[in-house]
Each structure stands twice: as C-alpha cells, then as structure tokens.
C-alpha cells in the first residue's frame, strides 16, 4: 500500500524532515497542538511507517 507523504506541515507549512512526521502530516509541536485542539491524545510516533 502506498501511503501519502507530506513534505510540509498541514498546520504551519514548515518542511517536515522526519519520515514519521511526513506520514502524519504534522511536525511534533503542531501535532501536539492539533491534538489539544481536538482533545485527542496519542503519541506522534505511535503511527507505524510501512514502506
């Protein structure tokens, strides 16, 4: 399965360098902020990257 990779953060537009962040679409700080805004708690790196 071919997952979409994001090159820029969906929240702030900065370049994403981490492969895990590229899969999620957010950098670690924006990911935490988005979760706080949505009241959903999970760790950025809980997502499994498969290639």
* Burial group, residue 31, by CB count within 10 angstroms (0-12, 13-18, 19+): buried
Report pLDDT for 36.
84
- Each residue's pLDDT tens digit, 4-50: 899 999 999 999 999 999 999 999 999 999 988 876 556 666 666 66
Phi-psi region of 42 (alpha: psi -120 to 50; beta: other; left: phi over 0): beta
Query: Six-digit token pair at 18?
Result: 């981490």
At residue 41, the pLDDT reads 58
Residue 24: what pLDDT? 92
45 C-beta neighbours (distance < 10 Å), count: 13
Q: What is the per-residue pLDDT for 2?
A: 64
Report yes or no on whether pTM surpasses 0.85.
Answer: no
Any idea which residue has 């999620």 for tokens? 24
Task: State the pLDDT at residue 9.
Answer: 97
């Amino acid at each position: 399965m071919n997952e979409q990779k994001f090159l820029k953060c969906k929240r702030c537009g900065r370049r994403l360098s981490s492969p895990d962040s590229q899969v999620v679409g957010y950098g670690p700080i924006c990911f935490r902020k988005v979760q706080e805004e949505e009241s959903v708690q999970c760790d950025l790196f809980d997502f499994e990257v498969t290639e």
